[in-house]
Amino acid sequence: MQVSKLLKQERDAILSQWLRLIIETYNPETASRILKEKNQFSNPVGHTLRQGLEGVYGELVGDLRPDKMRGYLDLIIRIRAVQDFSPAQAVAFVFLLKKIIREKSQKETWTSLISQDDLLELEQKIDEMALLAFNVYSDCREKLYELRVNEVKNRSFRLLQRADLLAEISESEEGSGDSEA
pLDDT in tens, the chain (181 residues): 577 888 888 999 999 999 999 999 888 888 888 887 777 888 888 889 999 999 999 999 887 788 899 999 999 999 888 887 888 999 999 999 999 998 888 876 777 778 888 888 889 999 999 999 999 998 888 887 787 787 887 787 777 777 776 665 555 555 555 554 4
Residue 133 falls inside a structural domain? yes
Q: What is the pLDDT of residues 94-133, one digit of tens each?
A: 999 999 998 888 876 777 778 888 888 889 999 999 999 9
Length of the chain: 181
Residue 54 falls inside a structural domain? yes
Q: Confirm if 4 and 60 have CB atoms less than 8 A apart.
A: no
Residue 40 falls inside a structural domain? yes
Residue 82 falls inside a structural domain? yes
Count the domains in the chain.
1
Residue 157 falls inside a structural domain? no
Residue 83 falls inside a structural domain? yes
H helices of the chain, in order, are 2-9, 11-23, 28-36, 44-61, 66-82, 87-91, 93-105, 108-111, 116-162, 171-180
Residue 164 falls inside a structural domain? no
Residue 108 falls inside a structural domain? yes
- Measured between alpha carbons, how far is residue 136 from residues 6, 75, 119, 140, 145 in Å? 29, 10, 25, 6, 14
Domain housing 113: 2-140
C-alpha radius of gyration, the chain, whole number: 24
